[in-house]
Amino acid sequence: MSEKAQLHLNGKVYELPTVTGSEGEKAVDISTLRDLTGYITLDDGYGNTGSCSSAITFIDGEKGILRYRGIPIEELAVKSTFVETAYLLIYGKLPTHPEKARFSDLLTENENLHEGMKHHFEGFPPSSHPMAMLSAMINASSCFYPGLMKSPDSESFEVQAARLLSQVRTIAAFSYRKSRGLPFLYPKPAYKYTANFLYMMFSDPYGSYELKPEVVRALDLIFLLHADHEQNCSTSTVRMVASSEANLFASAAAGVCALWGPLHGGANQAVITMLEEIHASGDDGRRFITAAKDKNSGKRLMGFGHRVYKNYDPRAKIIKAASDLLLHTLNREDPLLDIARKLEEAALGDSYFVERKLYPNVDFYSGIMMRAIGIPTEMFTVMFAIGRMPGWIANFKELLDERRKRICRPRQIYIGPTERHYLPPEQRR
């Protein structure tokens, strides 16, 4: 029998059921609270609110644990690929050989954009941010494939999921080419997922980009490490939109918009901007650390801190080691890496950051790695969006498969004026 929580309110005692997850996480189920008591819960920024039960990703922020479908991120980072991990997240199990081959074929069959979408890109001004193009074009997909408009059943889901996962990469590459005034390159069916993306980004009509295995592997790892992260801002957005029974593409486009902000996926771009500013000012990082601690400075140490991790983000550990290795293999030096290391060392020894449990998150070193790969800064958050797509699709599917579907609709405590009356203009002040 599960424990009951007791709530003492206005001289009465109410019993509320509790729920325990498979890793021992506990929640008080307050779904009957308003009916019973007339009260709702209030939780700024949802810091203490479980919005759903989910079997996809487990995080223990105190211990720095991240697992996709039970498998530690450290194991997947070494043994898996982005596409295999995408399958794991979406379908809940590692694929067998035939399942993997079918998934891979579906990705290849759906990699080309509708030719009409290519012309749609023409309307964007060259200065458009690739994230704006990405969300607009993902959403526009349903105009070109009307079948995408309706919520998928389990059969059509497979194709829709593969189309989205495959085309997000093509749209991302086209967005970049558009922003640089370069001709679009169609995907090559012979290339695997990440190699194909690099080919579409960096090849010329007159010469193919040299696909270095270590670079392909590095970007694949970045995608894999971003593939899901339970109910973060963008994934919650996807679930929120999907709960209205909006289609998969509309839900994912909303996820891209939520991801764009500098407090979420936009942080990887913001980290590099911060490191460049520190470098240009001749600071070794110490002045910036002082500013980041001052609430009036308007500065934060970007790439540090996390709502859930109160310990080192396990993805940051993997990325830090991988970026060291990549720079070494490519025989490259990056002065920004030295500044990042100094900032990290200073912050981890500073009581402000220690007391608030602020550690490097995944974005702190991912930008350094993407710079080494040659990804331009304005595309960093797009890389995050490609990586996060399996997580959004998996969460969409989980919602789709739920027997009891409920629209997400939080309540509020109204603090505006009480009833007052409409005044004619001459009486207004």
Residues catalogued as catalytic: 306, 363
What does the binding site for ligand ACO look like in residue numbers (CB under 6 A)? 45, 263-265, 267, 292, 300-307, 356, 358, 361-363
Amino acid occupying residue 68: Y
* Helix/strand number for the chain, H first, E second: 18, 6
Shortest Å distance, C-beta 264 to ligand ACO: 4
Give Cα separations from 20 to 3, 29, 41, 357, 424 (angstroms): 9, 10, 20, 26, 57
Give the residue nearest to ligand ACO (CB). Answer: 305
Nearer to ligand ACO, 107 or 224 (CB): 224
Nearer to ligand ACO, 202 or 260 (CB): 260
Give Cα separations from 377 to 67, 138, 262, 268, 370 (angstroms): 29, 21, 13, 9, 8
Q: 342-375: b or e for each residue (b if 16 or more CB lie within 10 Å)?
A: bbbebbeebeebeeeebbbbbbbbbbbbbbbbeb
Q: In the sheet where 26-28 sits, what is the strand order?
A: 4-9, 12-20, 26-28
Helix (H) or strand (E) holding 170: helix 154-179
Q: Among all chains, which residue has been given the structure tokens 């990405």?
A: 134
* Residue 289: closest CA among 353, 383, 378, 225: 353
Quote helix, strand, coil % in the chain, to nearest 5: 55, 5, 35
Nearer to ligand ACO, 61 or 376 (CB): 61
Distance from C-alpha of 73 to C-alpha of 387, rounded to nearest angstrom: 14
Shortest Å distance, C-beta 258 to ligand ACO: 10
Distance from C-alpha of 379 to C-alpha of 266, rounded to nearest angstrom: 10
Nearer to ligand ACO, 251 or 361 (CB): 361
Nearer to ligand ACO, 194 or 366 (CB): 366
Nearer to ligand ACO, 150 or 357 (CB): 357
Shortest Å distance, C-beta 318 to ligand ACO: 14
Rounded to 10 deg, the angle between the 380-401 and 154-179 helix axes is 170
Shortest Å distance, C-beta 361 to ligand ACO: 4
Shortest Å distance, C-beta 265 to ligand ACO: 6
